[in-house]
Chain A
Amino acid sequence: MSAPQIVNAPRKSFWPFIHFVPRQTHFNFVGLAPYAAVLSILLVIGAGASLGLRGDQPVNFGVDFVGGTKMELTTPGAPPFAQIRSQLGAVGVDDAQVQPVGSNGTAIQFRSVAGQAPDAAPAFVAAKLQAAFPGLKVTGVSEVGAKVSGELIWGGIEALGVALGLTLLYIWFRFQLQFGLGAILALFHDIVLTIGFLSITRIEVSMTSIAALLTVIGYSMNEKVISFDRLRENLRKYKTTPLAEVINLSENERLSRTIITGTTALLALSGSVLNPASALFSLTATMAFGILIGTYSSIYVALPVILLWGVRRDDDEASAINFQTARR
């Protein structure tokens, strides 16, 4: 990889900062592709291993997915929600939801309690809470089912499948088939790694995680199309230049855009990612990871697929480019 070369950048003024972003860079993106391929394979294996080795808890499914216990409480005065939540955490209740009910009622929901059999958990929690909050009464205990039903999950997967299929067709129609296949492969890469990320960090997987995953897919798809668009334009402009060089040129041309857009997206999330107490923490942490992965996979999963397959240069026959050319 050669150092970025700054060409023709007369110093104008301090602000706007864009003046400092070099207009032309000459990174050899394609040269790193074989290493990136190894990295991606290792990451996917890592994600798969984390999912496989956790047995029946591949990711940390919350009450939304697996159900749990619901206890209804009343307190003499206004319920101290924050203290109840921290008390629950202190006695080993996993991912407790504390929700106001009516004027002085509280509903708590949890999946399980560390070190307690499921049958004994409600009594254990009741005893601990009553000791900490005098006058607190438990008015009801019941098992609750999952919010996310089978139909919801399958409906979601079906919708996603159809959406990806149509996207593939659209990209095929606007670009070429291998562009679409590259994009879909890259998306699967992103989905697997994001689920792996959830598995390794043990972030609680709730309804919101579904949306986080969809957002990751959306951002990633946007990246792919922008990248393809520049490639298509340069393929028309430089008809005889080897594909690997056209890819390098295109990625260098859109590098400043990639950096600025990526930074903007991460900045939008930063306020919530840095505060674990925020309701949006798990959502934004997943999204931030997805933005990084989506940007990476545009360059190092989608484009290599196109490079290995080769492209049709207008009416010319498809020509496969081998990695020797690419590595040069």
Chain B
Amino acid sequence: MLALSRWKIAVVLASVIFGILFSLPNVLPDSVLAQWPSFLPHQRLNLGLDLQGGSSLLYEVDTDALKKERLNDLQEEASQELRDAQIQFSGLSSTTGVVALKISDISQMDAAATALAKVGGVVPGAGREVVVTRDAVGNFQLALTPVAVQQGVRSAVAQSIEIIRRRIDLLGTKEPDIRQQGVDRIAIEAPGESDPQRLKDVVGQTAKLTFQMVDETVQATDATTVVPPDDQVLPYEEQKGSFIVVKRRVSVDGGMLTNAQQGFNQNNEPVVDFRLNGQGSHRFGQVTSENVGHRFAIVLDNKVISAPNILSAILGGQGFIEGNFTIDSANQLALLLKSGALPAPLKVIEQGTVGADLGADAVRAGVTGLAIGAALIFAFIILAYGLFGVFAAIALIVNLLMMFGALSMTQATLTLPGIAGLILTMAVAVDANVLIYERMRDEANGGRPAMAAADAGYRRALTSIFDANVTTMISALIMFSFGVGPVKGFAWTLSIGVVTSVFSAVLVTQLLIGWWFRITRSKTLPIA
């Protein structure tokens, strides 16, 4: 194994150069980096919020919109209940903060009251969500109780936080802080000078997707056109300024999506491919087979993004959305659809910058501590193994260079948890060398000549190193794919570290020891 094959030298040299090139931007001053030729890497390590601060956004859940949305649903339910009870009614609306309607036949007052009492759900521990009032001439009003509104806001905030986290995680390991502030606010902090606009793009959009049938019997010229109560007028994005009348009834909604990704249609235009779950496929199949030749509208956040003709029944639960996309905007919509719709629109109410969570002084003390630790490792390994210790120390430096290079290249965010991963990697990297050297000592002790002992040391230690690192890699990859937030960051650092540490501990030292044997023609091992 100590033979100095050309590919081994080439691979090691290439990795060292890679490490240096990609780590270099971290230590160069801005002015030098600006003049750096464009083919060289420019990315610096992203430090996390806990280490360097970043930008902050404060959002508020749009309570009015949330309420309006809920009233819309209730209006739908009320209409359904009354129809089921065969009660005629008119003037159904939900524009004044309550659902209002008038029944045609006053003799049906009690029957209507019974039917309408079924509208809405129950707030845990606070009775029904809706209060029904009536007057003597058949007017009914359904109002949300204050507790129900409050409960709605509370669960909307909790849901929004999870959805925002999923969306930002899909953007890459940026490791933002997302937390509730007060009753109806969500504070988001993202590290570094990361573009707040990009953040706002993915956080701010509700991304409520629905498929609704177009009502082709009614034309609308503007948003205020009066249409039948079961219809609604929505702006049409493909022809700006025009409007489309669609049925209120939602055939399929975004919640039934199982996957969405950017793709291309037959004209090579960017589209969003989607796949529906079982229930969604069934409904979509049913609706499209009943309406061949008619148009259905794809509605995103109350705007029709396209309204294609149904050419034939779509039964497989798969389809795509067209609508003036660029590759970027199609990707973004796919990301939003995959992570789910926000339960209510969010408004930005504050935007600013924040400093490091931990305080600059504490971070400085931490960095000093790590530097001391690293210096101690180097001193110890060199004291313990002499020249071979120097080789191990060089391998460790190569390892660090490669790690910083890889972390800068992949633009992962280095946080305190990530540093924990780094420390573990360093310890495991040293461990690989210790395993090899201890094997060499065993072999030399067993009577083998120096070079054969060194060779056997590598060969026999490799099983242990292999098993130990495969085990670590399995855990790291699983934690990376399943984990969220800090777990993900830690796992990413660890996975990079496993690869670089095995590489440097095994290959780099092998090369150095090989050279050493060739130069000195030593008959003894310095560590035996």
Give the distance to chain A from B196, nearest Cβ to Cβ, in Å. Answer: 14
- Interface residues in A87-144 (C-beta closer than 8 Å to B): 97-102, 107, 142-144
Query: CB-defined interface of B505-527 with A at 8 Å, one 1/0 digit per residue?
Result: 00000000000000000000011
Instruction: Determine whether the beta carbon of A99 is less than 8 Å from that of B426.
Output: no
Q: Pick the contact of B438: A15, A254, A291 (CB < 8 A).
A: A254
Among the stretches A27-35, A36-44, A265-273, A305-313, the one at the interface with B is: A265-273
Instruction: Determine whether the beta carbon of A208 is less than 8 Å from that of B427.
Output: no
Instruction: Determine whether the beta carbon of A279 is less than 8 Å from that of B416.
Output: yes
User: Which residues of B lie under 8 Å from residue A324 when comparing CB positions?
Assistant: none
Query: CB-defined interface of B445-479 with A at 8 Å, one 1/0 digit per residue?
Result: 10000000000000000011001101110110011
Q: Pick the contact of B385: A16, A226, A291 (CB < 8 A).
A: A16
Residue A277, interface by CB 8 Å? yes
Instruction: Determine whether the beta carbon of B445 is less than 8 Å from that of A23.
Output: yes
Instruction: Determine whether the beta carbon of A8 is less than 8 Å from that of B373.
Output: no
Query: Given A18-B441, A144-B181, A214-B479 in contact, is the A267-B487 Cβ separation under 8 Å?
Result: no
Q: Pick the contact of A260: B365, B419, B428, B434 (CB < 8 A).
A: B434
CA A149 – CA B177 in complex, angstroms?
A: 11
User: Which residues of A lie under 8 Å from residue B442 when comparing CB positions?
Assistant: 23, 253
Instruction: Determine whether the beta carbon of A155 is less than 8 Å from that of B482.
Output: yes
Give the distance to chain B from A272, nearest Cβ to Cβ, in Å. Answer: 3
Q: How many chain B residues touch the partner (CB < 8 A)?
A: 90
Query: Given A16-B527, A70-B181, A101-B354 in contact, is the A272-B366 Cβ separation under 8 Å?
Result: yes
Instruction: Determine whether the beta carbon of B369 is less than 8 Å from that of A278.
Output: yes
Residue A322, interface by CB 8 Å? no
Give the distance to chain A from B401, nearest Cβ to Cβ, in Å. Answer: 17
Residue B386, interface by CB 8 Å? yes
CA A290 – CA B337 in complex, angstroms?
A: 42
User: Which residues of A lie under 8 Å from residue B481 when comparing CB positions?
Assistant: 159
User: Which residues of B lie under 8 Å from residue A97 when comparing CB positions?
Assistant: 357-359
- Interface residues in A154-175 (C-beta closer than 8 Å to B): 155-156, 158-160, 162-164, 166-167, 170-171, 174
Residue A147, interface by CB 8 Å? yes
CA A267 – CA B378 in complex, angstroms?
A: 10
Residue B265, interface by CB 8 Å? no
Instruction: Determine whether the beta carbon of A280 is less than 8 Å from that of B380.
Output: no
CA A92 – CA B108 in complex, angstroms?
A: 66
Among the stretches A49-57, A191-199, A215-223, the one at the interface with B is: A215-223
Q: Pick the contact of A214: B377, B385, B420, B484 (CB < 8 A).
A: B420
Q: Pick the contact of B366: A85, A225, A267, A279 (CB < 8 A).
A: A279
CA A148 – CA B177 in complex, angstroms?
A: 9
Give the distance to chain A from B203, nearest Cβ to Cβ, in Å. Answer: 16
Query: Given A97-B357, A268-B426 in contact, is the A155-B484 Cβ separation under 8 Å?
Result: yes
Instruction: Determine whether the beta carbon of A107 is less than 8 Å from that of B354.
Output: yes
CA A157 – CA B424 in complex, angstroms?
A: 20
CA A273 – CA B363 in complex, angstroms?
A: 14
Size range of the interface on A? 35 or more
Residue A46, interface by CB 8 Å? no
Q: Pick the contact of A279: B181, B363, B373, B438 (CB < 8 A).
A: B363
User: Which residues of B lie under 8 Å from residue A239 when comparing CB positions?
Assistant: none
Residue B383, interface by CB 8 Å? yes
Q: Pick the contact of A142: B181, B388, B428 (CB < 8 A).
A: B181
User: Which residues of B lie under 8 Å from residue A145 when comparing CB positions?
Assistant: 161, 179-181
Instruction: Determine whether the beta carbon of A264 is less than 8 Å from that of B430.
Output: yes
Query: Given A171-B471, A215-B420 in contact, is the A102-B352 Cβ separation under 8 Å?
Result: yes
Instruction: Determine whether the beta carbon of B441 is less than 8 Å from that of A261.
Output: no
Query: Given A8-B445, A16-B384, A70-B181 in contact, is the A221-B427 Cβ separation under 8 Å?
Result: no
Query: Given A17-B384, A23-B445 in contact, is the A226-B486 Cβ separation under 8 Å?
Result: no
Instruction: Determine whether the beta carbon of B424 is less than 8 Å from that of A99.
Output: no
- Nearest residue (CB) in A for B431 is A261
Give the distance to chain B from A148, nearest Cβ to Cβ, in Å. Answer: 8
Instruction: Determine whether the beta carbon of B373 is less than 8 Å from that of A271.
Output: yes
User: Which residues of A lie under 8 Å from residue B181 when comparing CB positions?
Assistant: 70, 142-145
Q: Pick the contact of A18: B420, B421, B463, B527 (CB < 8 A).
A: B527
Instruction: Determine whether the beta carbon of B445 is less than 8 Å from that of A166.
Output: no
Instruction: Determine whether the beta carbon of B471 is less than 8 Å from that of A16.
Output: no
Instruction: Determine whether the beta carbon of B179 is less than 8 Å from that of A160.
Output: no
User: Which residues of B lie under 8 Å from residue A275 when comparing CB positions?
Assistant: 365, 368-369
Residue B361, interface by CB 8 Å? yes
- Nearest residue (CB) in A for B361 is A82
Residue B162, interface by CB 8 Å? yes
Residue A188, interface by CB 8 Å? no
CA A8 – CA B182 in complex, angstroms?
A: 72
Query: Given A23-B441, A171-B471, A268-B377 in contact, is the A99-B354 Cβ separation under 8 Å?
Result: yes
CA A155 – CA B478 in complex, angstroms?
A: 11
User: Which residues of B lie under 8 Å from residue A284 when comparing CB positions?
Assistant: 369, 423
Instruction: Determine whether the beta carbon of A174 is less than 8 Å from that of B426.
Output: no
CA A16 – CA B380 in complex, angstroms?
A: 10
Q: Which 6 A-B pairs have the closest CB atoms?
A: A271-B372, A100-B355, A211-B417, A145-B180, A16-B386, A272-B369
With A156-B484, A267-B376 given, name 12 new contacts (CB 8 A). Answer: A16-B389, A18-B441, A152-B485, A155-B482, A159-B478, A166-B478, A212-B420, A214-B417, A222-B431, A222-B468, A278-B365, A291-B427
Listed by A's residue number, 28 A-B pairs whose Cβ atoms lie within 8 Å are A18-B437, A100-B53, A101-B56, A107-B354, A144-B181, A145-B181, A146-B179, A158-B482, A207-B50, A208-B420, A211-B487, A212-B420, A214-B490, A214-B491, A222-B431, A229-B464, A233-B463, A254-B438, A256-B438, A260-B434, A264-B381, A269-B423, A270-B373, A271-B370, A272-B370, A278-B369, A283-B419, A283-B420
